[in-house]
Homo-oligomer: A and B are copies of this chain.
Amino acid sequence: MIPSINMVTTKEILDTIESGGHRPTASRRRVLDAVVARGDGFTAEELVAEVKGLGRATIYRTVRLLLKEGLLCKLSLQDGAPRYTLFHRLGHHHHLVCVGCGVVQEFRQSVIEQMLMNLEASGTGTIMGHRIEVYVLCPACLPKVGS
């Protein structure tokens, strides 16, 4: 694997977990290996299927822990179970999800932050967060679907 600014290793994540006061156990290492190998756009249930020999509860707990520590993003899609992606070091971003294969890309658009400031200024309330997901057919899936 070619290292990149976005590369995240199991060890890095484990260190973050440990510095948050949680133990870097063998079970967590195994879940993390699967998460890192899988990268983006996986569901909790897919981890359960991939990481044999660990209880479902442990895997769900690990996912919750990673979310709490800010290491995963949760995408609540229109249908089906939420999908998770590693939170890369891109900082705040939005998601581009392929409706064909489920691959998730990230993007940033400063115009969005600008729009949110305008919205808040218009008196609708104090903005606590936002979620932006764009559904695409990626170049690989487009031909499969036909017209």
Chain A: residues with CB nearer than 8 A to chain B?
74, 76-78, 96, 98-99, 105, 107, 109, 111-112, 114-116, 118-120, 123-139, 141-142
**Cα–Cα distance between A119 and B98 once the two chains are bound (Å):** 14
A-B complex: 9 closest residue pairs judged by Cβ atoms: A125-B136, A125-B138, A129-B135, A130-B134, A128-B135, A76-B76, A126-B137, A131-B133, A132-B132
CB <8 Å contact, A119 and B126: no
Task: Please state the number of chain copies in the assembly.
Answer: 2
A sample of 8 more A-B contacts (CB under 8 A), given A116-B134, A130-B132, is A99-B129, A109-B115, A125-B138, A127-B134, A128-B137, A129-B134, A131-B133, A132-B132
Residues of B within 8 A of A133 (CB): 130-132
Residues of B within 8 A of A114 (CB): 111
> Across the two chains, which residue of chain B brings its CB closest to A127?
B136
